[in-house]
Amino acid sequence: MNAPPSARASIAQVFRSAGIVLRPAAAVPDHRPRGRPETMRKILHIDMDCFYAAIEERENPALRGKPVGVGGSSRRGVLTTANYEARKYGCRSAMPVFKAKELCPHLILVPVRFDLYRSESARIRAIFGRFTEKIEPLSLDEAYLDVSHLRSSGAAIARELRAQIREETGLTASAGIAPNKLIAKIASDWNKPDGQHEVTRDEVAEFMAQLPVGRLWGIGPKMRGKLNAMGIHTCGDLQRLDKLELAQRFGSWGLELHDLSRGEDTREVRTESIRKSVSCEHTFPENIQTLPALEPMLLAMIEEVREDLERKHSNRLIRSLVIKMKFSDFTRTTAEKAHAELDAHLLKELLAEAWKRGQNRPVRLLGVGVRFRDPEEKQQLDLF
């Protein structure tokens, strides 16, 4: 019940006598979080469309509308990426050049220009920074953004962000919008190129139930074949198996499958906190069958790690170099050696060592990275 005017006046007098000044409610700053509560996250996954190839087409408009592959200047090399025209013929990243040329004899090959790609990536990263400080780059051409603090809808934010990228760089981006990183990444591939797809919290259950199991992270053709042989074609099929049965069939990976199939992912968008390592990983669309075919991809990934080091970790001391390899049967190995610099020659030796451990098994994932010395260790070294 509202107090009568006389009562309100006396209340004001009491507060004034106590040295408390009453101000109109409108003058009080609103510190409430913008948008939904923290439990209702809005995560964007932004993925540039054929990033390297799109930059080359922008720089040389004569390439537009023609099948273009970036990298792989020799027949023994592999493609770093291919544009959408080339993909219509079956050309893909990590594909040997000779095979790409068989599929598309008129494929135009252009050399990799990492300095240019890094420069464009920095411009796009600056656009991300207009919307949020919570940015987790995955590579030069994709990143997670946490925009939970913004009042606008995730879809509206993604549209505006993509529009700014297009206007300022001439490049297009696709976006996935979801309550977590897992679903946002899947959704970003839904309306490629130059599109976006949102999965709201209320839509997660239906979205995951109908999702083919092959769209889940970590499930390649071989694993998909095993699941299909069990009658499992969608995440909904997978959800009917309990944790015990999945663990019995697939070990610890089965427990992860249980959560993935339900769209459960509590990972935060990681920002520029102190990191113990920097790495780059690539899962190949098709398993790589030979060591020479891995080497061009290794060199490209070394450049991504180098760019990350120069841009964000130039003051950190490197402890060791690391090669990670996952094989077609999902076993993995890590080759590591103490070294104070990012050395391509040494990383090639570690690549060969990891390949030898695999006993010629096809490779489905390659990772390259460095481990840092502890900051305290750096301080002690500085004293001497």
Q: Please indicate whether residue 160 is annotated as part of the active site.
A: no
Question: Which residues partner with 141 through β-bridges?
Answer: none
Alpha-carbon separation of residue 330 from 30, 290, 334, 362 (angstroms): 51, 17, 13, 10
Residue 206 tokens, joined: 């239906």
Nearest to 96 by CA among 111, 80, 78: 78
According to the annotation, is 141 in a ligand binding site?
A: yes
Alpha-carbon separation of residue 2 from 11, 13, 16 (angstroms): 13, 17, 20
On the CB side of 217, CA atoms within 13 Å amount to 17
Residue 18 tokens, joined: 């106590």
Residue type, 106: H
Distance CA 223, CA 75 (A): 30
Distance CA 95, CA 98 (A): 8
Q: Which residue has 């006396």 as its token pair?
A: 10
Catalytic residue among 56, 57, 120, 142: 142
Residue-wise over 28-45: b if at least 16 C-beta within 10 A, else e? eeeeeeebbeeeebbbbb
According to the annotation, is 49 in a ligand binding site?
A: no
Active site residues: 142
Binding-site residues for Mg(2+) sit at 47, 141
Which parts are annotated binding residues? Answer: 47, 141
